[in-house]
Amino acid sequence: MEELVEKLKKEIIEQLNLEEIEPDDIDPATPLFDEGLGLDSIDALELIVLLEKEYGQKIEDPKKGKEILYSVNTIAEFIRKNS
Amino acid sequence: MEITISKYIKIENNTIWLNGEKVFSAGPDTDFGTFMKVLYRRYAVKYLKFFKMDNLSKLGFLASEILLAGQGLVKHYPNDKIGVFLSNSNSTLDIDQQYYDLIKDSDNYFPSPALFVYTLPNIMIGEICIKNKFRGESATFIMKEYDPNITVDYIKNLFLQNKIKVCIAGFVDYTKDNYDAFLYLAENTELLNGIAHNAENINNLYYQRE
């Protein structure tokens, strides 16, 4: 799980062009949106693309998107459960 | 009413001219992406969203940041009276091509929302307005080459109708082979050494070199 979290951090930085952020700057439990990395709605869509492209995972229920994309930990948990 | 140009900037060939004076130049071998990062850090922009922008928006955004440094426009004018009017030759062709390359393989079809949002040239204006909290009139004009004759009367009319009290206007263009940014600040005030806002003067400033 820890390995997946670290991999996700790197992928999020690359996919979202978080130029001045290092993987160690991301607390996997901190909310990605609003506070934390301050991501926006376009970033959320990019994360959905990332999940589909890299992990073949689709968020089937849009209502659960907010919960799944809450933090790096919740994304990792979603991938783990569905793999 | 006297509309005057109080400040202007030109960015081309890895060089910046502010009010006609060369203020910074990077080496000719510096690529566009590196040049943008150098400017971002040199002018201490501190706006992480910059790195998500496409090349056209980066260019227009940084030109506006350097032009507006120290101006405090929103302190002097109501937000909804600050306009932005930009012209451009190649629209968003650079990012259009990138987006097309990304989606052309139907077996590997993962459209990027972050790229797609930049496939409209007025997004560049949006980035400037969001950062600076400008909420006035705005427009993007696509033309073969920069021709202030097309925009001067439009801008003047907005001043006359009191729709705007100040504006940023000019030309921002980007292709993978070339780029060019020219922005000016026009205000309804008789400034000492202000330059009258007309097509002839704007053309002179646009083509001006030290």
B154 reaches A (C-beta below 8 A): no
Q: Where are the domains of chain B?
A: 4-207
In a mutational test of the A interface, the residue from B98, B109, B112 whose CB has the highest number of chain A CBs within 10 Å is B112
Mean pLDDT confidence for B97-111: 93
B208 — pLDDT class (breaks 50, 70, 90): confident
- Which is nearest to A20 in space by CA: A44, A2, A37? A37
pLDDT in tens, A19-68: 888 999 999 999 999 777 878 899 999 999 999 999 999 998 888 999 99
Name every chain B residue with its beta carbon within 8 A of the beta carbon of A21: 48
Q: Which of A18, A19, A49 sits opposite B110 (nearest CB)?
A: A49
B52 reaches A (C-beta below 8 A): yes
User: What pLDDT, on a 0 to 100 scale, did the predictor assign at position B194?
Assistant: 81
Mean pLDDT confidence for B136-154: 96
User: What pLDDT, on a 0 to 100 scale, did the predictor assign at position B80?
Assistant: 98
Per the structure block, which two tokens stand in for B48?
């992480």
pLDDT in tens, B109-131: 999 999 999 999 999 999 999 99
User: What pLDDT, on a 0 to 100 scale, did the predictor assign at position A34?
Assistant: 77
Answer yes or no: do B114 and A52 touch at CB < 8 A: no
Answer yes or no: do B112 and A16 touch at CB < 8 A: no
Answer yes or no: do A38 and B51 touch at CB < 8 A: no
Q: What ipTM does the predicted assembly reach?
A: 0.81
B210 — pLDDT class (breaks 50, 70, 90): low
What is the percentage of chain B residues whose pLDDT exceeds 90? 88
In a mutational test of the B interface, the residue from A12, A37, A45 whose CB has the highest number of chain B CBs within 10 Å is A45
The CATH class, in words, for B4-207 is: alpha beta
Task: Yes or no: say if A71 and A30 are a contact pair by the CB < 8 Å rule.
Answer: yes
Q: Which of A19, A42, A52 sits opposite B51 (nearest CB)?
A: A19
Predicted confidence (pLDDT) at residue B191 exceeds the cutoff of 70 = no
- Got the DSSP string for B143-181? -SS--HHHHHHHHHHHHHTTS-SEEEEEEEEE-SS-EEE
Evaluated on CA atoms B22, B71, B179, B32, the torsion sign reads positive
Residue B70 Cα, gap to closest chain A Cα (Å)? 25
d(CA A75, CA A70): 7
B1 — pLDDT class (breaks 50, 70, 90): confident
- Which is nearest to A30 in space by CA: B130, B51, A21? A21
A35 reaches B (C-beta below 8 A): no
pLDDT in tens, B27-59: 889 999 999 999 999 999 989 889 999 999 999
d(CA B148, CA B85): 11
pLDDT in tens, B158-187: 999 999 999 999 999 999 999 999 999 999
* Strand partners for A39: A33
d(CA A79, CA A30): 18
User: What pLDDT, on a 0 to 100 scale, did the predictor assign at position A20?
Assistant: 83
Q: Which of B37, B51, B112 sits opposite A46 (nearest CB)?
A: B112
Is the domain spanning A2-82 CATH 1.10.1200.10? The answer is: yes
B51 reaches A (C-beta below 8 A): yes
Residue B65 Cα, gap to closest chain A Cα (Å)? 19
User: What pLDDT, on a 0 to 100 scale, did the predictor assign at position B48?
Assistant: 84
Predicted confidence (pLDDT) at residue B147 exceeds the cutoff of 80 = yes
Q: Where are the domains of chain A?
A: 2-82
Mean pLDDT confidence for B133-157: 96
> What average pLDDT does the structure give for chain B?
94
Predicted confidence (pLDDT) at residue B81 exceeds the cutoff of 80 = yes
